[in-house]
Chains A and B, each alone.
Chain A
């Protein structure tokens, strides 16, 4: 119990630090991430450019710091949005039942019929490149799992004895939803959401890598990896460091998800 709590606090501190670092990335950056210095193109790491420069002579470290917001904050925004919409859709389907359930689940199935990332690529391709369109397409890819999870959780608890007892006491539908069902299903959904942040960060980087997300010259990790590819032989740092940043954030949010899950299981009881 104590160990779980300590780990949770530790992870929260790490995540918060990481988020602050990225939030002030542009201010912290040692150089202007958008100023190119062609004389210093593809330069190895040095005191002035700690992570080297890219093919246009821009500071890689500064671009990583500035690009974090597009990767991580947009991922958090996407996960928050799909968490809410998916959970509400699942609640309505599971608790409402009947034809409402059937219609909502058919819609979910249509979205799930495509392999997730292919669906996102298709929608982003249709909407055209850009950060907003990439976010819309990733929401379309990710909301279904929350709808399905929350529906199945609702189905598990909606016939529980304590809900029958509440009905006997005269509880209305809204009381049952907000006092009994939601508190008993929200933790597993939140666990899924925290672990999903890293998936979305990767998917976002993937879209940018394919040229469907953030557009040059804006800094974004996936895009930086994509650009760095051509100069892998001469300037490997331009691809290694953005990849490392991506890796660190993915690992961080995965571990945070595990922590939340452990904390939930620990306090979950029966």
Chain B
């Protein structure tokens, strides 16, 4: 094993320059400034913070979907996958669910036949407890929770070592949330996945993550074992964040 870490992020930065402000000047939006963390193999690493704190931007950069403005990303694995914030938009509405799921392997051209990939896709559907009967439906014909199961099936079909989960439950209702979380727990044990788990729900992170980083305005303000952070927050923002949950 080359490294104990599956993902290393060093001083990651993102400046958006696509907003035109007053007088036609290009405005700079600094979404992520100097974020560093490391995720160990088999670890569940949480990233929490309020809306707009730069969590998704960090996730997209880690996934290679967004070019960082600065910093370094080291992925010590072969495949990485991502489950997205809005499940309804993560499946192509005009392709069948099975075709959507098969995408996890179809582009790899590693000698697997179409039939083998389909068979594996069905097994992945079993694993995420999505009834095989949904295979021939179209992406637009699933509910949010079913969509999320299908996207998780697509992700695990690719046999990733790291799964990035960007607020995978925030668009779902509470009972479905719990099902998805227990599914992710299950997959962790069965497949030995590592997670970058993004959320703004402290209770969820508390139950799911080994370590957590707290993001505020594009920076990591505090990082450590989840229990330590929750029981003994040092940073003022973290205290407020945890306090707001406790008073609820």
Q: Which residues of A contact B (CB under 8 A)?
A: 160-162, 164-172, 175, 179-180, 183-184, 269-270
Contacts and interface: CB of A to CB of B under 8 A. Distances in A.
Nearest to A169: B103
B65 A164 contact: yes
Given A165-B84, A168-B65, 16 more contacts: A161-B84, A161-B86, A162-B89, A162-B139, A165-B154, A168-B63, A168-B80, A169-B103, A169-B104, A169-B106, A179-B92, A180-B95, A184-B92, A269-B140, A269-B141, A270-B140
A165 B94 contact: no
Contacts of A170: 107-108
Contacts of A160: 89
Nearest to B81: A168
Interface in B157-183: 158
B158 A169 contact: yes
A166 B92 CA distance: 9
Contacts of A164: 60, 65, 82, 84
Contacts of A169: 81, 103-107, 154, 158
Contact of B103 (A165, A172, A184): A165
B93 interface: yes
B170 to A, nearest CB: 14
28 contacts: A160-B89, A161-B85, A161-B89, A162-B91, A162-B93, A162-B100, A164-B60, A164-B65, A164-B84, A165-B82, A165-B154, A167-B65, A168-B63, A168-B65, A168-B80, A168-B81, A169-B81, A169-B106, A170-B107, A172-B107, A175-B107, A179-B92, A183-B92, A184-B92, A184-B94, A269-B141, A270-B88, A270-B93
B103 A269 contact: no
B90 interface: yes
A27 B64 CA distance: 65
B78 to A, nearest CB: 11
Contacts of B57: none
Interface residues of B, number: 32
B37 interface: no
A167 B107 CA distance: 10
B208 interface: no
A270 B87 CA distance: 13
Contact of B95 (A161, A183, A269, A270): A183
Nearest to B83: A165
Contacts of B80: 168
A162 B142 CA distance: 14
B151 interface: yes
A269 B138 contact: yes
A179 B95 contact: yes
B95 A165 contact: no
Contacts of B154: 165, 169
Nearest to A184: B94
Contact of A166 (B103, B105, B140): B103
A175 B107 CA distance: 9
Nearest to B108: A170
Nearest 9 CB-CB pairings of A with B: A269-B140, A170-B107, A161-B89, A162-B92, A183-B94, A169-B103, A161-B90, A161-B84, A171-B107
B56 to A, nearest CB: 11
Interface string B117-159: 0000000000000000000001111000000000100100010
A269 B143 CA distance: 12
A167 B154 CA distance: 13
Contacts of B63: 168
Residue from A160, A161, A165 whose CB has the most chain B CB atoms within 10 Å: A165
A32 to B, nearest CB: 51
Interface string B39-68: 000000000000000000000100111000
A263 B151 CA distance: 29
Nearest to B64: A168
A112 B85 CA distance: 41
A162 B81 CA distance: 13
A167 B80 CA distance: 12
B165 to A, nearest CB: 13
A162 B90 contact: yes
Contacts of B139: 162
A59 to B, nearest CB: 50
B108 A165 contact: no
A206 B105 CA distance: 55
B38 to A, nearest CB: 21
B164 to A, nearest CB: 9
A161 B141 CA distance: 17
